[in-house]
Amino acid sequence: MRVLTFGWEFPPQKNGGLGVACYGLTRELLRDGVEVIFVLPKTQETAGDARFLFADDERLVKVLHTDVSIKPYMQGDSTVDVIVGYDSEGKPIIRSRTIIEEAHRFAHQAAIIAKTEEFDVIHAHDWTSYLAGVAAKIASGKPLILHVHATSFDQAAGNNVDPSIFKIEKEAFAMADKVVTVSEYTKNIVVNKHESPAEKVEVVYNGCDMEETTQLPPTLAELKRQGKKIVLYHGRISIQKGVDHFIRAARKVVDTDSDVIFIISGSGDMLTQIIEQVGAAGLSDNVKFAGALWDEERDQMYQSADLMVMPSVSEPFGLVPLEALQHGTASIVTKQSGVAEVLTHALKVDFWDVDEMANQILSGLRYPVVRQQMVNEGREQMKSMSWVTAAQKIKQLYRSLIQYVTT
Amino acid sequence: MLTVCPYFHVHQPYRVKKYRVFDIGNDTEYFNDSSETDLNNRRIIEKVAEKSYRPTNKILKQLLDTHPEFRFNLSFSGTALDQFEAYAPDVLESFQELVATGRVEILADTYHHSLAFFYSVPEFKRQVQKHERRIKQLFGVKPRVFRNTELSYRNDLAKWCEDNGYLGIMAEGWDKYLGWRSPNYVYRPAGCSKIKVLLKNYKLSDDIAFRFGNKEWPDYPLSADTYASWIHAHHGDGQTVNLFMDYESFGEHQWEDTGIFEFLKVLPEMVMRHPDTSFKTATETVQAYDAAGEYDVPDILTWADTDRDLTAWTGNDIQRDAIAATYKMEEAVMKTRKRDIIENWRKLQTSDHFYYMCTKWSNDGDVHAYFSPYQSPYDAYIAFMNALSDLQLRVSHAVAQREQKELQKQESAVSEKAEQTPAQNHYPDNAHIPDETDTQEVSQPEHEQEAEESRWWNKLANKLPFFKSPV
């Protein structure tokens, strides 16, 4: 069985949950005997054993090298600078393109790839690859699975949904043979907002790799010495992530206990607004901005925090609480998240219920036993959330579609 | 000769409301949720009264009226009785009518449905005595057979019951301790010489309590006729079939649409259709039969789950933490001698609170999720611990006040050179219950008393005895 997969990002590049998910799933599919051809929009280093194709490869498009810094979480009309070619002197020719133009270009290349490669089924991850998936289906007649890691509704937190992205999602879902979502939460959006028939949509929860974590030297040692308690936010700072609600909860927490320090790790389009909110709330002493932390610095912060909060307004899955658990830190997650469906051992709150969020932060800090138990049992539960299980379900889907379509 | 000894356990806890950190020090009402959720105790009582208590008592009364030989046992938690009195007095009356027939025996129990025996025997004894007084007051009877919370049992509990004059005690008839023997005989607890233990026939009991409405069960739907034949099959290999279950099995755990009420209506008749089969109360049963052997239970045995132990209440860290924090307060709580504080502390001992914190099956959800009014075991723990924190504040405040008062008393006593009695802050087993002796001390917070006195009609009423206040 061979699958032609389209994705937008892939490790070891630093990116969000999408690349991590594509990597985990691909790895286990390969191990399970599925041949994976993974197509990415631009040349990059890649991890793992899949066969990679790059849409900007010379044989496909007349571009020697592109330096596209496309981020999948951008709005459709945001622009990216793309090297489209080189002039006679060898200098790059740079043009600005919108991300939607890039997605269309990716689709055009996908059609070419689909005509040259041999495969049984097409699998496209996230909205930036949906058009590529659809184009490949039209070019080859093979069945198509669209894998929803996020929707335009999540990114807009319900308001001001980008109509051009929504249009791509809705039309692509209609063209797909199966739509896979990473949670029941996201399935509900796809069924209710995009009006996909419920029987067409399958939930396949993300997995999580249990890694051996090394104990790093604690960060924020001075704060801890002073008896301060650390509450961490780690993620993009955007409307979807609910950081503004988190700051409102922080105000209520500090009213009761001024020894709590909130660390914001991440960056994003809402950063300035959040900094202003912190100032206006008089929280400058208690809220610290750490910038976007990666790798060891991020792990250090996970290990040093007493509690992690994921205040998302709309979160299709949410990997951060599981990462925090690996580093021995318990989480508060919103009920508007996919991870809340699979992780029993976390405190759960509605994103708008700032009072309860503050209560859970204070209670979590007050009773160490509850944090320890959530970590112990949560880590145990994580063992059942492997990519092996997810890959098995995906393989099952491939098989059912191949049987159905082959005549 | 085969007798059937049914016992139905009636219990409702005072569920702790969503008590937040911000409430600590500001709110002493832990149990007064008034939302539309299952944390609202009044709402639950009204719901279960409608679904279970009223229709079941009606049937039981009819059965007692039509079958002079029919008898059974009831056990009540004091927290259930208090809530009936407050929210559904007609339910309490209907229970009183049943007991008034003289054919319904009431069993001894802890007032607060607690696991106190395993944490503090003195506190356990006070709760048993309080329960006994309440039963006497409401029903005019004195229990002679003991059953402990969740049917929890151990050799030393049986010994305690024997030493305190009980004729019998109830326990799970568990294979691990029975071995090849049958639960359908009366046994003697290990280490005892007089008291007898009645063992639950869990197969026949659970057929009603758990399996009755289960459509996957091969014997579904179960008719009273068939069930009676299962009982009759024990003729010749047993003396008593002990059917122990939650009273709420009728109508609440097994809903009306399962046919449970129709089943109950005809069961006594079906059982007694076989000659030589009759019903006995617990006391009659222990008096009728000699002990067939010894029942030796060195570790805690309960009627819960497949493990039949306490792990559903004390199996994880948050449960053990909460229960330890509760019993750690005993000495200070008793020192306050304040009725409202002692009563709140005891309401927090009710085993249900710890059951709600169970994570044993949280990964696949199960019976525990069904019986919890909280969204998660962690929510249950947080609400409980926050309420307990408030109680701790009140206790330390009250203890400080009392110590100061006693210091003043001692000083004035010394100055008057009067004879002085030492301050009593330790209660021996048989001491008088402090919340009974000292009830007047804190029936109302001080500021409320002031407001009460300052009302114009109170001043008037004090001078004119015939004057009626306008409220």
Cβ of A369 and B386 within 8 Å?
no
Query: Residue A79: its pLDDT value, please?
Result: 57
Residues in chain A closer than 8 A to B317 (CB atoms): 369, 372-373, 376
Which of B378, B390, B392 to mutate to probe the A interface, most A CBs <10 Å?
B378
The minimum CA-CA distance between B17 and chain A, rounded to whole Å, is 13
Convert the pLDDT of each residue in A63-102 to its tens digit.
Answer: 322 333 344 444 555 555 555 556 666 665 666 667 888 8
Contact B21 A359 (CB under 8 A): yes
Work out the minimum CA distance from B368 to partner chain A, whole angstroms. Answer: 14
Quote the DSSP letter at residue B418.
Answer: -
pLDDT digits (tens, 9 = 90+) for B272-329: 999 899 999 999 999 999 999 999 999 999 998 888 999 999 999 999 999 999 999 9
CB within 8 Å: B318 and A373: yes
**What number is the average pLDDT over the span A218-243?**
89
Cβ within 8 Å of residue A256, ≥6 positions away: A358, A362, B21, B22
Amino acid at B190: A
Chain B closest CA to A346's CA: distance in Å?
8
CB contact (8 A) between residue A369 and residue B376: no
> What are the DSSP calls for B78-144, one per residue?
HHHHHHHHHH-HHHHHHHHHHHHTS-EEEPB--TT-B-GGGT-HHHHHHHHHHHHHHHHHHHS----
Please tell me the distance from the alpha carbon of residue B230 to that of residue A402, in angstroms, as a whole number.
Answer: 54
Complete domains list, chain B, with CATH:
2-295 (3.20.110.20), 312-416 (no CATH)
Q: Which pairing describes strands B277-279 and A331-334: parallel, antiparallel, or unpaired?
A: unpaired
Task: Report d(CA A17, CA A236) in Å as an integer.
Answer: 11
Q: How confident is the model at residue A214 (pLDDT cuts 50, 70, 90)?
A: confident
Tallying the residues shown for chain B, one arrives at 471
CA distance A68 to A106: 12
| B385/A348 CB distance under 8 A | no
3-state secondary structure of B452: helix
Nearest to B186 by CA among B170, B202, B206, B203: B170
**Spatial distance between the Cα atoms of B199 and B202, rounded to a whole number of angstroms:** 9
Beta carbons within 8 Å of A127's beta carbon, 6+ residues apart: A72, A103, A150, A151, A152, A165, A168, A169, A172
Q: Which residues in chain B have their CB less than 8 angstroms from residue A373's CB?
A: 316-318, 359
B363 at A interface, C-beta within 8 A = yes
Would you call B378 and A381 a contact, using CB atoms and an 8 Å cutoff? no
For chain A, say whether B21 makes contact (Cβ under 8 Å).
Answer: yes
What's the pLDDT score for residue B437? Answer: 40
Greatest Cα-to-Cα distance within chain A, rounded to the nearest angstrom:
71
Distances (CA, A) of B71 to B7, B36, B64, B272, B279: 10, 38, 7, 12, 6
Contact B20 A356 (CB under 8 A): yes
**Residue B419's pLDDT is what?**
53
Element (H, E) at B469: none
Q: Are A348 and A333 in contact (CB under 8 A)?
A: yes
> DSSP for A302-350?
HHH-SEEEE--SSBSS--HHHHHHHTT--EEEESSBSHHHH--SSEEE-
Q: Which residues of chain A lie closer than 8 angstroms to B316, CB-CB?
A: 373, 377
Measured between CB atoms, does B27 come within 8 Å of chain A?
no
The predicted pLDDT at position A70 comes to 41
pLDDT of residue A100: 84
Q: Which residues of A touch B386 (CB under 8 A)?
A: 363
B150 is catalytic: yes
A344 vs B contacts (CB less than 8 Å): 359, 362-363, 376
Q: Which residue of A has its CA nearest to B316?
A: A373
Q: What per-residue confidence (pLDDT) applies to A296? A: 86
pLDDT at A87: 63
Comparing CA positions, the residue from A264, A255, A270, A269 lying closest to residue A355 is A255
- Which CATH architecture group holds A2-62+102-207+386-405? 3-Layer(aba) Sandwich (3.40)
CB-nearest to A363 from B321, B375, B386 is B386
Q: What 3-state class would DSSP assign to A165?
A: helix
Vertex B215 angle, CA B213 and B216, to 5°: 125
pLDDT at residue A240 greater than cutoff 70: yes
Subunit contact A366:B379, Cβ cutoff 8 A: no
Mean pLDDT for A249-256 is 97
* Residue A356 pLDDT exceeds 50: yes
| B20–A381 CB contact, under 8 Å | no
Strands of B168-172's sheet, edge to edge? B145-146, B168-172, B196-200
- Nearest residue on chain B to A356, alpha-carbon basis: B20
Can you give the pLDDT at residue A60?
37
Q: In this complex, do B375 and A367 lie within 8 Å of one another by their Cβ atoms?
A: no
pLDDT value at residue A292: 86
- Residue of chain B whose Cα is closest to the Cα of A372: B317
When CB atoms are compared, the residue of A345, A363, A384 closest to B21 is: A363
Quick one: pLDDT at residue A95? 60
**A358 interaction partners in chain B (CB closer than 8 Å):** 21-22
Cross-chain Cβ contact A366/B378 below 8 Å: no
CA distance A287 to A276: 12
For A294-351, write each residue's pLDDT tens digit.
888 889 999 999 999 999 999 999 999 999 999 999 999 999 999 999 999 999 999 9
Q: What is the model's pLDDT at position A57?
A: 54
- pLDDT tens column, B74-102: 999 999 999 999 999 999 999 999 999 99
Nearby residues of A355 by Cβ (< 8 Å), 6 or more positions away: A252, B20, B22
DSSP helix/strand/coil, A22: helix
Nearest-Cα residue of chain B relative to residue A385: B363
From the CA of A172, how many Å to the nearest CA of chain B? 35
Residue of B nearest to A254 (CA): B22
Q: Report the pLDDT value the prediction gives residue B471, as an integer from 0 to 100.
A: 43
CA distance B405 to B22: 31
Whether the per-residue pLDDT at A358 is higher than 60: the answer is yes
Q: Which residues of A touch B (CB under 8 A)?
A: 252, 256, 344-348, 355-356, 358-360, 362-363, 366-367, 369-370, 372-374, 376-377, 381, 384
Closest by Cα among B7, B32, B19 to B285: B7
**Minimal Cα–Cα distance from A212 to chain B, Å?**
23
Q: Residue for token digits 């008088």?
A: B432
Phi/psi for B352 (5° steps) reads -55, -35
A-B C-beta contacts closer than 8 Å: 62
Closest CA to A129 of A147, A112, A141: A147
- Contact check, Cβ <8 Å, A363/B382: yes
Q: Is the pLDDT of residue A217 over 50?
A: yes
pTM of the model: 0.87
Mean of the per-residue pLDDT values for chain A? 87
Is A154 within 8 Å of A72 (Cβ atoms)?
no
Task: Please name the residue of chain A whose CA is at the shortest distance from the CA of residue B381.
Answer: A370
Name beta bridge partners: B197. Answer: B169, B187
Residue A356 with chain B: CB contacts under 8 Å: 20
State how far the Cα of B227 lies from the Cα of B264, in Å rounded to an integer.
11
The low-confidence residues of chain B, meaning pLDDT below 70, are 361-370, 417-471
B311 at interface of A, judged by CB pairs closer than 8 A: no
Closest CA to A186 of A99, A53, A58, A312: A312
pLDDT confidence bin for A12, thresholds 50/70/90: confident
Radius of gyration of chain B (CA): 24
Place of tokens 């059942």: A384
* Chain A nearest C-alpha distance from B365 (Å): 10
Q: Is B304 exposed, middle or buried (0-12, 13-18, 19+ CB in 10 A)?
A: buried
What the block records as the tokens of B450 is: 């002031």
Residue for token digits 């019976």? B367
Domain layout of chain A by residue ranges: 2-62+102-207+386-405, 221-382
Q: What residue of B is the nearest CA neighbor of A368?
A: B318
Catalytic residue among B150, B248, B252, B284: B150
Residue of B nearest to A343 (CA): B363
- Alpha helices by DSSP H, listed for A214-353, are 221-225, 243-256, 271-280, 295-304, 320-326, 339-342
What pLDDT does A88 receive? Answer: 67
Residue with tokens 């008592």: B57
Distance CA A398, CA A47 (A): 23
Using CA of residue B101, residue B102, residue B103, residue B109, what is the dihedral sign?
A: positive
**Which of A347, A356, A367 faces B385 most closely, judged by CB atoms?**
A367
- What is the distance between the alpha carbons of residues B117 and B348, in angstroms, rounded to a whole number? 15
Count of residues making up chain A:
407
The predicted structure's pLDDT at residue A80: 56
pLDDT (mean) for A379-400: 93
Cβ atoms A243, A289 nearer than 8 A: no
CATH for A221-382, among 3.40.190.10, 3.40.50.2000, 1.10.3720.10, 2.30.110.10? 3.40.50.2000
